[in-house]
């Protein structure tokens, strides 16, 4: 280019040079291509939803969902209750440990120590669940001597879910605007008062999102449960009882059996998990958009 | 109101800063600042950007310690009690000496609860809180605008109203000192004017320390000007004296630079 300076306004042609036209055209192509790629990406998901629903829905009835009779092989009552109970307890534990750990890391630990803790949490999130399953097996089943049991499953699953809650709690508290945090501490709030009165209301929606996502991930997990519990035909009676998880049923019925009735049951279990996961994701959406509106202006 | 030091003579300084030095990794951000704040005064702390104004006000209620890595030497006497003395709890200091920042820092709660924040921290009974909140909102010049909807979220207020709510929050604990770090730098002229008239009213009964980079603001509202440069206090005196007849060439350069 011999003249490097910007052309004066009167010399600019608004229909553009050939190169400019080519670039704008390229932009248009990308504009068409992206939605197309999105469709390609979402198509497998839609077909999966269809595939599962088509096999699960025709025979899905209220009895299938609610019967806990040990003599029926076409009912999901026992694994539904098992999944619900295990999820409830595992979520409680994960929230307890994840929340305290996340707040401690964000508010109290020195940057160096916090860095190590965060790295460990990231490692745990990236760890294949089968390894967490084996960890639970060796720790809770063997070392603690709980055997293949309800409680071993709860602890292993909560161990799997905790880092997700931890990460969002940590992130939520570290991303409270610095000037808001300083203003609270500068008014003489003790760290605990800051956390309860100012930090939590701001961090809450993000933490809740993390909890729901951890639940969505946890409810679809198989390995941590399969390796630490044994399936039972009854609703768990004690903490050492057998317990059936929905994913476990899919694993047993689908991968291990050829009976078409059991396979339909597996599809019905899969359908339920799908619904729960989708519902959890929708709840997450609703919460975050709702709270974003409420906290609008805080980050201005 | 527990733990208040016995009040010395009525005309002694409310805040007395002695040999205040703040060091960050060997670099002195503040260098031996000595300065008194008499009762019922508004002192404008002026100086070029980066001269240490923010650091200075943050030493006055020990907020400076929220930034790791800064070392503070010297002392600050609040009504005769050194707030850097042994055994002094910085949390208790901050409950008595409030600060208002460059940007409004309202919390995501109602207007009432924002104003009541400092009182809740010390568990004041409800009737005390009610009275103190009203009084603080009146003193901050916000009462007429918000008395109808104290339960509304404070985030719904305009920037200028939010800033006056922050002033009310600091006033609610009935402090003898209010620190303001460029409180109008994020506000439009009309909102600035409101905050300035609030400050002019407040200086009738408490000590205001106003950091500003805006010399004409200092001229409008302050009775004393302290000029900081590279962490050193170059000059302090009545506003008219410092702005019209500066003794130090650095002060003169700064003022004329701004006015020119
Ligand atoms: N935490 C810190 N560590 C190191 N240097 C700092 C720190 N905080 C402020 N400073 C430095 O101290 C000087 C004064 O800062 P500040 O008090 O914010 O000035 P002002 O408010 O007058 O603009 C600046 O040069 C700044 O870079
Ligand atoms: Mg500053």
Length of chain A: 300
Range of the domain at A259: 60-295
> Measured between CB atoms, does A114 come within 8 Å of chain B?
no
What pLDDT shows up at residue B35?
96
> Which of the residue ranges A74-78, A292-296, B3-7, B95-99 would you say has the lowest mean pLDDT?
B3-7
Sequence-separated (6 or more) residues with CB below 8 Å from residue B209: B15, B37, B43, B45, B57, B60, B177, B178, B179, B180
> Measured between CB atoms, does B143 come within 8 Å of chain A?
no
Are A298 and B63 a contacting pair at CB < 8 A?
no
Q: How confident is the model at residue A166 (pLDDT cuts 50, 70, 90)?
A: very high
CA dihedral A129, A134, A137, A138 (to 10 degrees): -140
| Count: domains in chain B | 1
A3 pLDDT exceeds 60? Answer: no
Q: What is the pTM of this model?
A: 0.85
B260 pLDDT exceeds 80? Answer: no
Q: Is residue A214 classed exposed, middle or buried when 0-12, 13-18 and 19+ CB atoms within 10 A define those classes?
A: buried
pLDDT digits (tens, 9 = 90+) for A222-275: 999 999 999 888 888 888 888 889 999 888 887 677 777 888 899 999 999 999
What pLDDT shows up at residue A260?
77
All residues of chain A having their beta carbon less than 8 Å from the beta carbon of residue B120 are 197
| DSSP summary character for residue A143 | I
Phi-psi region for residue A171, left (φ > 0), alpha (ψ -120 to 50) or beta? alpha
CA B259 to mean position of chain CA atoms: 25
CA of B56 to the centre of ligand 1 (A): 10
> Measured between CB atoms, does A293 come within 8 Å of chain B?
no
Residue A5 falls inside a structural domain: no
Residue A7 falls inside a structural domain: no
Same domain for A89 and A178, yes or no, is yes
Same domain for A50 and A136, yes or no, is no
For chain A, what percent of residues have pLDDT higher than 90? 65
What pLDDT shows up at residue A300?
58
Residue B9 falls inside a structural domain: no
Are A184 and B107 a contacting pair at CB < 8 A?
yes
> Which of the residue ranges A4-18, A28-42, B64-78, B185-199 would you say has the lowest mean pLDDT?
A4-18
Same domain for A87 and A160, yes or no, is yes
Nearest-ligand number for the alpha carbon of B49: 1
Give the CATH number, domain containing residue B55.
Answer: 3.40.50.300
Residue A66 falls inside a structural domain: yes
The predicted model gives A49-69 an average pLDDT of 90
Residue B195 falls inside a structural domain: yes
A143 pLDDT exceeds 90? Answer: yes
Residue B20 falls inside a structural domain: yes
**By CA distance, what is A200's nearest residue in B?**
B108
Same domain for A94 and A36, yes or no, is no
Q: How confident is the model at residue B32 (pLDDT cuts 50, 70, 90)?
A: very high
> Measured between CB atoms, does B61 come within 8 Å of chain A?
yes
Spatial distance between the Cα atoms of A12 and A4, rounded to a whole number of angstroms:
15
End-to-end CA distance of chain A: 44
| DSSP summary character for residue A137 | I
CA dihedral A212, A217, A222, A225 (to 10 degrees): -40
Spatial distance between the Cα atoms of A28 and A266, rounded to a whole number of angstroms:
46
The predicted model gives A14-19 an average pLDDT of 79
What pLDDT shows up at residue A224?
94
Same domain for A174 and A90, yes or no, is yes
pLDDT digits (tens, 9 = 90+) for B68-105: 899 999 999 999 899 999 999 999 999 999 999 999 99
pLDDT digits (tens, 9 = 90+) for A188-209: 999 999 999 999 999 999 999 9
Instruction: Provide the CB-side half-sphere exposure for A254 (13 A, CA).
Output: 15
Residue B3 falls inside a structural domain: no
What pLDDT shows up at residue B3?
41
For chain B, what percent of residues have pLDDT higher than 90? 90
**By CA distance, what is A198's nearest residue in B?**
B107
Spatial distance between the Cα atoms of B129 and B137, rounded to a whole number of angstroms:
12
| Count: domains in chain A | 2
What pLDDT shows up at residue B184?
96
Range of the domain at B115: 15-255
Q: Give the minimum alpha-carbon distance from B91 to chain A in angstroms, rounded to a whole number.
A: 5
Q: How confident is the model at residue A25 (pLDDT cuts 50, 70, 90)?
A: confident
The per-residue pLDDT of chain B, averaged, comes to 92
| CA angle, B129 then A201 then B179, to 5° | 55
Are B166 and A183 a contacting pair at CB < 8 A?
yes
Q: What are phi and psi of B26, to 5 degrees?
A: 75, -20
| DSSP summary character for residue A142 | I
Contact B108, B153 (CB under 8 A): yes
Closest to B216 (Cα-Cα) out of B158, B256, B248, B172: B256
CA of B213 to the centre of ligand 2 (A): 8
Contact A169, A97 (CB under 8 A): no
Same domain for A120 and A213, yes or no, is yes
Q: Tell me which of B22, B23, B48, B50 to substitute to probe ligand 1's pocket, judged by most ligand atoms within 8 Å of the beta carbon.
A: B50
Are B92 and A188 a contacting pair at CB < 8 A?
yes
Residue A1 falls inside a structural domain: no
Residue A11 falls inside a structural domain: no
Give the CATH number, domain containing residue A159.
Answer: 1.10.3720.10
Q: How confident is the model at residue B9 (pLDDT cuts 50, 70, 90)?
A: low
Are A182 and B66 a contacting pair at CB < 8 A?
yes
pLDDT digits (tens, 9 = 90+) for A121-133: 999 998 999 999 9
**Which A-chain residues 160-179 have CB contacts (< 8 A) with chain B?**
179
Same domain for A35 and A146, yes or no, is no
B258 pLDDT exceeds 80? Answer: no
Residue A168, classed as helix, strand or coil, is helix
The predicted model gives B137-157 an average pLDDT of 94
Residue A4 falls inside a structural domain: no
Q: For chain A, what is the radius of gyration of the CA atoms? A: 26
Same domain for A46 and A156, yes or no, is no
What pLDDT shows up at residue B10?
63
Same domain for A64 and A213, yes or no, is yes
Residue A246 falls inside a structural domain: yes
Q: Is residue B35 classed exposed, middle or buried when 0-12, 13-18 and 19+ CB atoms within 10 A define those classes?
A: buried
Q: Which helix (H) or strand (E) holds A236?
A: none
Q: How far is CA A259 from CA A64, A246, A268, B56, B117, in A?
A: 17, 18, 15, 79, 66
Same domain for A208 and A129, yes or no, is yes
In this structure, the residues whose C-beta lies within 6 A of any atom of ligand 1 are B 24, 29, 47, 49-55, 67, 69-70
Q: How confident is the model at residue B259 (pLDDT cuts 50, 70, 90)?
A: very low
Same domain for A87 and A22, yes or no, is no
The predicted model gives B143-149 an average pLDDT of 94
Contact B46, B227 (CB under 8 A): yes
Give me the numbers of helices (H) and strands (E) for chain A, helices first please: 13, 0
Same domain for A37 and A126, yes or no, is no
pLDDT digits (tens, 9 = 90+) for B204-215: 999 999 999 899
Residue B260 falls inside a structural domain: no
Q: How far is CA B20 from CA A195, A270, B60, in A?
A: 32, 69, 10
């Amino acid at each position: 280019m011999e003249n490097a300076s910007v052309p004066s306004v009167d010399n600019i042609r608004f229909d553009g040079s050939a190169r400019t036209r080519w670039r704008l055209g390229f932009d248009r192509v990308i504009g068409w291509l992206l939605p197309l790629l999105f469709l390609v990406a979402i198509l497998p998901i839609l077909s999966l939803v269809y595939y599962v629903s088509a096999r699960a829905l025709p025979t899905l009835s209220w009895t299938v969902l609610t019967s806990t009779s040990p003599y029926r092989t076409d009912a999901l009552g026992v694994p539904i209750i098992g999944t619900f109970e295990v999820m409830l307890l595992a979520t409680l534990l994960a929230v307890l440990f994840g929340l305290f750990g996340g707040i401690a890391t964000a508010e109290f630990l020195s940057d160096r120590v916090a860095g190590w803790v965060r790295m460990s949490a990231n490692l745990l999130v990236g760890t294949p669940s089968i390894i967490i399953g084996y960890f639970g097996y060796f720790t809770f089943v063997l070392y603690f001597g709980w055997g293949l049991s309800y409680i071993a499953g709860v602890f292993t699953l909560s161990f799997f879910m905790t880092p997700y809650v931890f990460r969002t709690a940590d992130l939520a508290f570290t991303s409270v605007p610095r000037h808001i945090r300083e203003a609270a501490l500068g008014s003489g709030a003790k760290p605990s008062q800051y956390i309860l009165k100012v930090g939590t209301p701001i961090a809450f929606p993000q933490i809740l999102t993390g909890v729901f996502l951890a639940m969505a991930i946890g409810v679809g997990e198989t390995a941590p449960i399969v390796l630490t519990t044994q399936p039972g035909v009854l609703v768990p009676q004690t903490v050492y009882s057998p317990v059936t998880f929905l994913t476990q049923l899919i694993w047993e019925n689908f991968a291990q059996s050829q009976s078409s009735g059991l396979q339909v049951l597996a599809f019905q279990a899969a359908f339920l998990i799908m619904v729960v996961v989708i519902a959890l994701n929708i709840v997450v959406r609703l919460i975050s958009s709702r709270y974003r509106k409420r906290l609008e202006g805080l980050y201005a | 109101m527990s733990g208040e030091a016995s009040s010395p003579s009525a005309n002694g300084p409310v805040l007395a800063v002695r040999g205040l030095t703040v060091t960050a990794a060997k670099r002195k951000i503040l260098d031996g600042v000595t300065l008194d704040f008499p009762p019922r005064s508004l002192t404008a702390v002026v100086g070029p950007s980066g001269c240490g104004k923010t650091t200075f006000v943050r030493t006055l209620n020990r907020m400076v310690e929220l930034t790791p890595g800064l070392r503070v030497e010297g002392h600050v006497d609040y009504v005769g009690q050194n707030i850097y003395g042994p055994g002094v709890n910085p949390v208790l200091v901050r409950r008595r000496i409030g600060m208002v920042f460059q940007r409004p820092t309202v919390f995501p709660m109602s207007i009432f609860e924002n104003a009541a924040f400092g009182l809740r921290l010390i568990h004041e009974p409800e009737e005390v809180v009610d009275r103190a909140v009203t009084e603080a909102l009146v003193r901050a010049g916000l009462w007429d605008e918000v008395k109808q909807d104290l339960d509304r979220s404070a985030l719904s207020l305009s920037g200028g109203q939010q800033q006056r709510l922050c002033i009310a929050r600091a006033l609610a604990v009935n402090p003898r000192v209010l620190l303001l770090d460029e409180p109008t730098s994020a506000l439009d002229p009309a909102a600035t004017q409101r905050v300035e008239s609030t400050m002019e009213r407040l200086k009738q009964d408490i000590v205001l320390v106003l950091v500003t980079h805006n010399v004409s603001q200092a001229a409008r509202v302050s009775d004393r000007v302290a000029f900081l440069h590279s962490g050193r206090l170059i000059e302090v005196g009545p506003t008219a004296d410092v702005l019209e007849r500066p003794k130090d060439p650095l002060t003169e350069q700064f003022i004329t630079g701004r006015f020119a």
